[in-house]
Structure 1
Amino acid sequence: MSLSQFRLDGKVALITGGNRGIGLATAQLFAEAGARCMLTARSETDDSRALTETGEHAFHAADITDPAAPDELVEATLKRFGRFDILVNNAGVADGGDFHDFDDARLARIMDTNLIAPFRVARSAVRPMLAQSSGAIVNIGSISGYVANKPQLQVAYNSSKAAIHQMTSVMAFEYAARGIRVNALAPGYIRTRMAIDGMEDPDMSKVWADNTPMGRFGTPEEMANCVLFLASDAASFVTGATLVADGGYITH
């Protein structure tokens, strides 16, 4: 096996939530590996703009909860780059609170962003992949799809991520014989904007760190390494898997 199998030369990737955090780190690594990237989020950031201003990559503003957005994003990617090889379904939101007080509006926001939108984006992405009999999809789940986190209460978020893991498994089964691989990444506590408030809270941060055997939080760059593996030919015999990258959190 050659290290060249981790390269993405000539490949085109669509990365949702690509303006910061794991999505942006993945785009930056994919660019180093030779891919051209279409980033999408509601708005561009200075960091994502630094990548797209090179001219090799592009940004398309979109709200992925808009039912029209998935087809629009895939069409924009094909128009800009002429092909579609990789989808990184990364965009997501978190919210918590007592189950008995969790209102329908908050529930809808979680499910629309974390489950329904990724379902629709993957559905749109599969079509050009089927036409070329090849493609790779990486859905970003979470260790929250496996455990009840503490001390935060977040039944809706955890349920949405468990559903992503199952969606990944069933999609992989359906498309394995048609050249499309579908895998997921389940990050632990990662230094992103989604988790930073908890990490800056001494009490919550201590609980999270104490329950992570490696004793620290992960970085977006470490997650990007995992996504690159799953998206590349280095993982050519891997489909239907959910790769846990959590410093050992769910081992106990």
Structure 2
Amino acid sequence: MKLIEVNYIGVFLSARACARQMYKYKVQGSICLIASMSGTIANRGFISPVYNSSKAAVVQLGRNLAMEWGRENPDGSGGIRVNTLSPGHIVTPMVEENFRRGEANREEWENNSMLGRLSTPDEYKAAGLFLLSRASSYMTGHDMKIDGGTTAW
């Protein structure tokens, strides 16, 4: 249950709080939710249906919020674009712990990547900036999956 609370409910509550302020101050802009490639595929080498379904919920949440908040209202509120960023396998302290515990298989993850390696958090900065900037001004409700060519199911 904690995983759903953090991965989905926390994202939903944060997005809603942000949008409330944007509506209040009539700020048009963009919200980028962090999902995961695991929200749209079933990963090899990582068994976690709760994690995967929580990330699928974030992808769908992004689409729904984009539809609900996208149009600018006559009073100047609204006009909020919402997209999701879905990283592939990232080496983080939590993932390293998953490897150590045998909950995920690093070699299998690397073998399933067309690049033959795992990513680092720094490799997602430009994508996040793009989704939050005017460069993506006609993009909403989209899930940007950056997964190194993962060949998972």
In 2 relative to 1, CA 251–204 (structure 1 residues): closer, same or farther, beyond 3 Å? Answer: closer
Instruction: State the Cα distance separating 1:146 from its structure 2 match.
Output: 1.2
Q: Contact 2:44–2:152 at 8 Å: present in 1 too?
A: no
Within the candidate set 32, 51, 61, 1:138 is matched to: 32
Structure 1 outlier segments of 4+, above 4 Å: 198-201
> Over residues 38-58 of structure 1, what are the superposed CA-to-partner deviations in whole Å (9 max), with x where a residue is unaligned?
xxxxxxxxxxxxxxxxxxxxx
Any stretches of 5+ residues in structure 2 without a counterpart? 73-78
Q: Which residue of 2 aligns with 1:194?
A: 94
2:21 aligned with 1:121: no
Separation (CA, whole Å) in 2 of partners of 1:244 and 1:194:
21
- Matched residue count: 144
Instruction: State the Cα distance separating 1:193 from its structure 2 match.
Output: 1.7
Separation (CA, whole Å) in 2 of partners of 1:161 and 1:150:
16
The aligned runs of 1:32-71 (5 Å cut-off) are: none
2:80 aligned with 1:180: yes
Q: What is the DSSP-based 3-state SS (H/G/I as helix, E as strand, rest coil) of the residue aligned with 1:183?
A: strand
The aligned runs of 1:94-173 (5 Å cut-off) are: 108-131=1-24, 132-173=26-67
Letter in structure 2 aligned against 1:125: C
2:148 aligned with 1:247: yes
Q: What is the DSSP-based 3-state SS (H/G/I as helix, E as strand, rest coil) of the residue aligned with 1:195?
A: helix
Any stretches of 5+ residues in structure 1 without a counterpart? 1-107
In 2 relative to 1, CA 138–207 (structure 1 residues): closer, same or farther, beyond 3 Å? Answer: same
Separation (CA, whole Å) in 2 of partners of 1:241 and 1:251:
21
Percent of residue pairs bearing the same amino acid type: 38
Q: Which residue of 1 aligns with 2:122?
A: 221
Q: Which residue of 1 aligns with 2:76?
A: none
Name which of structure 1's ranges 140-149 and 164-173 shifts more when overlaid on structure 2: 140-149
Q: What is the DSSP-based 3-state SS (H/G/I as helix, E as strand, rest coil) of the residue aligned with 1:177?
A: coil
Name which of structure 1's ranges 110-119 and 191-200 shifts more when overlaid on structure 2: 191-200
Q: Contact 1:143–1:250 at 8 Å: present in 2 too?
A: no
Separation (CA, whole Å) in 2 of partners of 1:250 and 1:120:
33
Q: Contact 2:38–2:56 at 8 Å: present in 1 too?
A: yes
Separation (CA, whole Å) in 1 of partners of 2:97 and 2:113:
18
Separation (CA, whole Å) in 1 of partners of 2:10 and 2:19:
14
Q: Contact 1:143–1:244 at 8 Å: present in 2 too?
A: yes
Separation (CA, whole Å) in 2 of partners of 1:186 and 1:151:
18
Within the candidate set 115, 125, 132, 1:231 is matched to: 132
In 2 relative to 1, CA 194–162 (structure 1 residues): closer, same or farther, beyond 3 Å? Answer: same
> Over residues 129-170 of structure 1, what are the superposed CA-to-partner deviations in whole Å (9 max), with x where a residue is unaligned?
113241211100001101222222101100100000000001
TM-score, normalised with respect to structure 1? 0.54
